[in-house]
Structure 1
Amino acid sequence: MTEPANAPIDAETTDVLIQHRRNIADLKQRIRNRHLQVLGLYGTPIVILVALTTWVGLKISFWLHSNTPDAIDNITSIAVLLSAISFIVQAVAEFSNDLNVWRDRKTPVKKLRLELSLAEERHVLEARRRTPPPIDRQATYRERLPGEIARLRQESRYYRRIHLFMQWMLFISSAAISAVTAWYDPPQPAKGALICLGFAVTVITAAAGYFKPRERAFNLQLTADSIEQNATALELGIPPYDAVEEKRNLALFATTVEDLRAEQRMREQQLDQPQQGQQQVI
């Protein structure tokens, strides 16, 4: 008799929380769309001004006493014409009361962000009020593991591909320098290729050594995994968050997360320091 009575409550709770998530996702998409709308509306006049300014600058600098080439005139005219048409269309969509093409026309992005913040707060309060017992959370945790594992693997592949791309660029550019040098005995036309390849090697090496994408990705992933592990332990009520008092578990969780964030900031500071400074810190 107990299970049928609880079924409608569980279904209602699920529907309410899903609706909150849909509202939050919809607001995030509306904010992204509004950013693009504002950028297009106020960016096209800037494009027109830049195109005309560039044409005038070229005219004064190179063709003051002669006609500018037809290619430059055509490119400038096409850019100005397309930008003007785009601005007119966007202005009509933004300010016309007869057309409802844009959902959030005349709506500031700040207002949408406020609505998003309120929606997230309502979701947190509703989730807190409708939190199921620990045994139910433990039962659903196993079902979420495959998606979480897939997400972590996808992020790992993403950072690994960036690192491998930079390494292969270094390998190819370094090998091409030697190949071009051996293939072309005269300075030309290999001189330009050697300059470009040497520049690419220098830039990639300097960027990899300064920004350290591999180390930063590893540290960020390590901190995220540690925080997620503690959050999962708190949710499931397993050690070290298995105390009877919820207040004690929350205090321990906050302290642990802040320690992890402090360690992450320290690792970031060590990466920003020169190699000699890192050795002194270590």
Structure 2
Amino acid sequence: MGKPHMPQSGPVLDHRINALIAHRRTIATLQRQIKRTRLVGVVRLTGLIAAALLVLSLIGATAFTWRRYDMAHINIFGFFVLVALAVGYLFFEENFETGQPAGQDKPVAELRLDLELAEEERVLAAAHIARPAYERQYSYRDAIPREIDRLRAESATYRRWHNWLQWTLILCSAAIPAVTALYDPPQPGKGILIGLGAAVSVITSVMGYFKFKERGFNLHQTADAIEQHATALDLAIAPYNHADEKENLGLFAENVESLRIEQRKREQQLDQPHQGPQEVV
């Protein structure tokens, strides 16, 4: 009779673990490169559009006010703004080329293909490393504090956006009657009133569309619930007061995943367009 197959260990297992870590590091590097390349593309496009709009605006304003208004000082100021944009663009390009690894100036489409291939290689490498469910659940428990920190950081970001927009909305709304009372007749302040009214409309629409307050509240609520389960597991209190630690870890992973699924469902509900009462089940 042949010997039963035993899981590999020792140098072979260490080599496969190191290979898996290397694949994950490659994936993280490619993800950073994709974000960096996208950022560079946005900055380049924004700089070119801003420079073109500035030049066209100066030319149009000069032609429109020719022999009626002296645009020399405005044109000089615009020239210095163009020089500042050019210097900033060159500085950005120089720093980007300095921080970019040699031979890594690939387009986003090619980087995405490299990322997909790296993901497939990582999956194949992970398939050769078989760990018991208990070890995976224990590793999952160790990763929970980072997940809680991530949820709370995202929640704080949404709250800051909501508070900033809310205060801006309050100030703009309060400034409208003040400007109306200050400019009587309102003709000199008409442009200010139009700008304030447009700002109020835009801010209200943005807050209603992105729902920063609701997203921040849901993330904070999920983080608190996961932390409550983690504390109960550490203190061995209900529902994690079983004698078998493996059973406690399995139950903990199941509960946390349920909370994360509920969080994703709430996010999907917030992304859905508003429906009338007649369509709500």
Range of TM-score over shorter length:
0.5 to 0.7
Give structure 2 stretches of 5+ with no counterpart.
1-7, 230-248
Q: Distance in 2 between matches of 1:141 and 1:100?
A: 35
**Counterpart contact for 1:173–1:201, Cα < 8 Å:** yes
Structure 1 counterpart SS, 2:131: coil
Task: Return the alpha-carbon distance in structure 2 between the equivalents of residues 100 and 261 of structure 1.
Answer: 36
- Range with bigger deviation, 201-210 or 130-139: 201-210
Measured after TM superposition, the shift of residue 16 of structure 1 is: 2.3
Which fold has the larger relative contact order, with Cα–Cα distance below 8 Å and residues 6 or more apart in sequence?
Answer: 2
The equivalent of 2:240 in structure 1 is none
Cα distance in 2 between the residues matched to 1:84 and 1:105:
25
Which residue of structure 2 lines up, in the alignment, with residue 122 of structure 1? 121
2: CA distance, partners of 1:72 / 1:120: 53
- The 5 Å alignment of 1:77-92 reads 79=82, 83=86
CA displacement at 1:221 relative to structure 2: 8.2
Cα distance in 2, alignment partners of residues 9 and 162 from structure 1:
50
**Secondary structure of the structure 2 residue equivalent to 1:23:** helix
**Contact 2:172–2:196 (Cα < 8 Å) also in 1:** yes
Q: Which runs of 5+ in 1 are unaligned?
A: 230-235, 242-252
TM-score normalised to structure 1 length: 0.60
CA gap 1:35/1:278 in 2 versus in 1, 3 angstroms: same
Give the counterpart letter for 2:127 in structure 1: R
For 1:25, which of 28, 36, 49 is the aligned residue? 28
* Deviation of 1:17 (Å): 2.4
What letter corresponds to residue 30 of structure 1 in structure 2? Q
1:96-142 CA-partner distances (Å, limit 9, x unpaired)? xxx99763466332111111111122112222331411121123233
Partner in structure 2 of residue 215 of structure 1: 214
Answer whether contact 1:23 1:119 (CA < 8 A) is retained.
yes
Within a 5 Å distance, the mapping from 1:5-24 to structure 2 comes to 6=9, 8=11, 11-24=14-27
Indicate if the aligned counterparts of 2:158 and 2:215 stay in contact, CA closer than 8 A. Answer: no
Q: Is 1:187 matched up with 2:184? A: yes
Other-structure match for 2:55 = 52
Match of 2:108 in 1: 109
Output the CA distance in 2 between the equivalents of 1:157 and 1:53.
41
Q: Work out whether residues 177 and 198 of structure 1, in 8 Å CA contact, stay in contact via their aligned partners in 2.
A: yes
Q: 1:18: how far off?
A: 2.1
Partner Cα separation in structure 2 for residue 56 and residue 68 of structure 1: 10
Alpha-carbon contact 1:159-1:214 (below 8 Å) kept:
yes
Identify the residue that residue 164 of structure 2 maps to in structure 1: 165
Q: Alignment partner of 2:122: what SS?
A: helix
Which segment is superposed worse, 204-213 or 107-116? Answer: 204-213
User: 1: distance between equivalents of 2:162 and 2:72?
Assistant: 45
CA contact (8 A) 2:159 2:212 kept: no
Amino acid at match of 2:137: Q
8 Å contact 2:58–2:78 — kept in the other structure? no
Q: Give the distance between the partners of 1:30 and 1:81, measured in 2 at CA.
A: 27
RMSD: 5.0
Per the TM alignment, residue 69 of structure 1 is displaced from its structure 2 partner at its CA by: 0.8
Asked whether the equivalents of residues 45 and 83 of structure 1 are also in contact (C-alpha less than 8 Å), the reply is no
Contact 1:27–1:112 (CA under 8 A) maintained in structure 2: yes
Contact 1:44 1:84 in 2 (8 A): no
Kept after mapping to 1: 8 A contact 2:51/2:85: no
Compute the displacement of 1:169 (Å): 3.7
Moved more, 29-38 or 213-222: 213-222
Give the C-alpha shift of residue 86 in structure 1.
5.0
Tell me how far apart the structure 2 counterparts of residues 114 and 175 of structure 1 sit (CA, whole Å): 52
Give CA-to-partner distance per residue, 1:26-67, whole Å, 9 cap, x none: 112222333345556676665554443333212211126886
Q: Identify the residue that residue 37 of structure 2 maps to in structure 1.
A: 34
- Structure 1 residue 237: deviation in Å? 5.6
Counterpart position of 1:278:
277
Query: C-alpha separation between the residues in 2 aligned to 1:11 and 1:84?
Result: 51
Q: Distance in 2 between matches of 1:196 and 1:67?
A: 26
Evaluate the alpha carbon distance shift between residue 121 and residue 64 of structure 1 in structure 2; reply closer, same or farther with a 3 A threshold: farther
Q: 1:191 and 1:65 mapped to 2: Cα distance?
A: 24
Q: Which segment is superposed worse, 147-156 or 186-195?
A: 186-195
Quick one: distance in 1 between partners of 2:99 and 2:197? Answer: 54
Q: How many residues get paired? A: 244
Contact persistence 1:30–1:104 (CA under 8 A): no
